[in-house]
């Protein structure tokens, strides 16, 4: 099974057809809306927007869940810390130094739902926007800073390359792990020190593979006469359509509604 994190899901849909520059603005607006939400009703409105976007994008829900799955630990740890280390409201459970209160449970659940919403929007953005589109859109949005010497094209190129190689390195990590398991390696036995040592047979080959990929990419770019700082045109010119402005206006209305709920 291929890794879903950072992978572009190539289908025809209204979400895929949106201008990538507009999609970057939409992502920023929705992230700001998630941080400005003060109630579960506001977050519920954002969740509805995310579910509608997933439906319209024609990306299977299972594929979206697979992309979010690697971040489950990032949801669990803040949930546990907020539940047992915030003492406000009525005490619901107490065991030694651990105390669960109604306020802690509410804040922990609210923070976790907010984090899930953020990752859901970011995942949908990468699934519906190709690395080339992300590179072109980022290059366009950062172009005004190039007047001050900021390497906008190089930054956009690095971002697109990083997104492109996330699923590749994930797959190679899985292959290396299976190869080490077939040789009798164990990664979930013993104490913390032994488990930490067991990570090295995975990290070292993966690090070597990353260097090999970087070297191959450098040779490919050099053979195509790539040079930084040169003015470049784009094969696909980005065009903003009326539908892009309509979607942007609708999301702005949703953001205002989230702030006032």
23, pLDDT greater than 90:
yes
Which pLDDT does position 52 carry in this prediction? 92
Of 26-30, 37-41, 153-157, 215-219, the range with the lowest mean pLDDT is: 153-157
**Is the pLDDT reported for residue 26 higher than 90?**
yes
Is residue 232's pLDDT more than 70? no
Q: 221: buried, middle or exposed (CB in 10 Å: 19+, 13-18, 0-12)?
A: middle
Q: Specify the range with the lowest mean pLDDT, choosing from 88-97, 122-131, 162-171.
A: 88-97
| End-to-end Cα, the chain, rounded Å | 41
pTM: 0.73
Share of the chain above pLDDT 90, in %: 13
Cα separation, 25 vs 31, whole angstroms: 10
How big is the chain by its Cα radius of gyration, in Å?
A: 22
- Judge contact between 91 and 101, C-beta under 8 A: yes
Task: Evaluate whether 131 touches 160 at the Cβ level (below 8 Å).
Answer: yes
Q: How far apart are CA 141 and CA 156, in angstroms?
A: 10
Place of tokens 């291929």: 2
57-61, 117-121, 203-207: which range is least confident on average?
A: 203-207
Choice among 126-130, 131-135, 215-219 with the minimum mean pLDDT:
131-135
Q: What is the mean pLDDT of residues 230-243?
A: 75
138-190 tens-digit pLDDT: 888 887 887 777 777 777 778 777 777 777 777 788 888 888 888 777 766 66
pLDDT recorded at residue 1:
45
Of the pLDDT bands very low, low, confident and very high (cuts 50, 70, 90), residue 88 is low
CA angle 58, 36, 57 (to 5 degrees): 5
pLDDT, tens only, 5-14: 567 888 889 9
Confidence of residue 250 (pLDDT cuts 50, 70, 90): very high
């Amino acid at each position: 099974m291929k890794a879903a994190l950072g992978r572009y899901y190539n289908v025809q849909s209204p979400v895929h057809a949106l201008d990538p520059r507009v999609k970057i603005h939409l992502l920023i607006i929705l992230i700001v809306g998630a941080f400005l939400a003060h109630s579960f009703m506001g977050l519920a409105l954002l969740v509805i927007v995310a579910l509608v976007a997933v439906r319209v994008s024609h990306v299977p829900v299972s594929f979206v869940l697979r992309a979010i799955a690697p971040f489950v630990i990032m949801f669990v740890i803040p949930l546990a810390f907020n539940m047992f280390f915030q003492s406000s409201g009525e005490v619901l459970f107490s065991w030694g130094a651990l105390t669960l209160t109604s306020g802690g449970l509410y804040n922990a659940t609210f923070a976790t739902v907010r984090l899930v919403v953020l990752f859901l929007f970011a995942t949908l953005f990468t699934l519906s926007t190709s690395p080339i589109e992300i590179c072109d859109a980022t290059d366009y949005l950062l172009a005004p800073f190039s007047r001050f010497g900021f390497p906008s094209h190089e930054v956009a190129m690095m971002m697109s390359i990083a997104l492109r190689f996330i699923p590749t390195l994930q797959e190679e990590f899985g292959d290396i792990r299976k190869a080490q398991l077939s040789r009798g390696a164990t990664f979930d036995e013993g104490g913390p020190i032994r488990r930490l040592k067991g990570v090295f047979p995975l990290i070292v080959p993966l690090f070597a593979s990353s260097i090999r990929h970087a070297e191959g990419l450098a040779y490919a770019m050099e053979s195509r006469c790539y040079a930084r700082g040169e003015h470049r045109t784009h094969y696909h010119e980005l065009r903003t359509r009326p539908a892009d402005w309509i979607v942007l206006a609708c999301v702005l209305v949703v953001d205002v509604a989230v702030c006032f709920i």
